[in-house]
Amino acid sequence: MKRHTLIGGAALACLVLATSACGVAPRHLNSGKVLPTTLPFSEAVQVGRTLYLSGQIGNLPGSLKLPPGGIGPESKQVMENIKTTLEAHGHTMADVVKCTAMLADMSEWGAFNEVYKGYFAEGRYPARSAFGATALAFNARIEVECIAAK
């Protein structure tokens, strides 16, 4: 016979939300490996064993310049930036559970997907949403934010 354990009230909220009210204070992280640390946001915030990455564009590390060539090179660079940020904070691409992709032009979604899928084991892709945006920071073609969990 299977046994089920019920978790109620505050204990369930702590498991689901991992909030500072449960004794898990958020850690605001900036490695400086991808983005300048002078920007007014954290590159990632860690709460417990969950890492929330800010949106990444395909900027060349240490600058706000994009690689030439459009969606292909930008897609590769954005995924490399995500990988670098994860590794700087003790995570890997295998820990990514959710991504949100924002594209300046939805007709480039297929080209982005070709690059994106190469960063994950086949059949082990994170949950993902994608949408078109009127404009992205620094005239980027793609921006991706992710959540990773151990």
Q: What tens digit of pLDDT does each residue of 15-24 get?
A: 445 555 567 8
Mean pLDDT, residues 139-143 taken together: 97
Residue 58 corresponds to which tokens in the numbers above? 């395909």
Tell me the pLDDT tens digit for each residue of 91-103: 999 999 999 999 9
What integer pLDDT is reported at residue 19 of this predicted model? Answer: 53
Rounded to 5°, angle at Cα 63 from 60 and 66: 45
Residue 45, in any domain of the structure: yes
Residue 132, in any domain of the structure: yes
Mean pLDDT, residues 115-129 taken together: 96
Q: How many alpha carbons lie under 13 Å from residue 21 in its C-beta half-sphere?
A: 8
Statement: residue 118 has pLDDT above 80: yes
Residue 135, in any domain of the structure: yes
Statement: residue 11 has pLDDT above 70: no
Residue 19, in any domain of the structure: no
Residue 9: band (very low, low, confident or very high) from pLDDT cuts 50, 70, 90: very low
Mean pLDDT, residues 17-32 taken together: 75
What integer pLDDT is reported at residue 75 of this predicted model? Answer: 98
CATH number at residue 138: 3.30.1330.40
Residue 137, in any domain of the structure: yes
How many folded domains does the chain comprise? Answer: 1
Tracing tokens 């060349």 back to the chain, one arrives at 60
Domain that holds residue 117: 25-149
Tell me the pLDDT tens digit for each residue of 65-89: 999 999 999 999 999 999 999 999 9
What integer pLDDT is reported at residue 35 of this predicted model? Answer: 82
Residue 12, in any domain of the structure: no
Beta bridge partners of 50: 47, 149
Q: Which of 52, 27, 57, 30 is nearest to 41 (CA)?
A: 30
Contact assessment for residue 95 and residue 150, using Cβ atoms and an 8 Å cutoff: yes
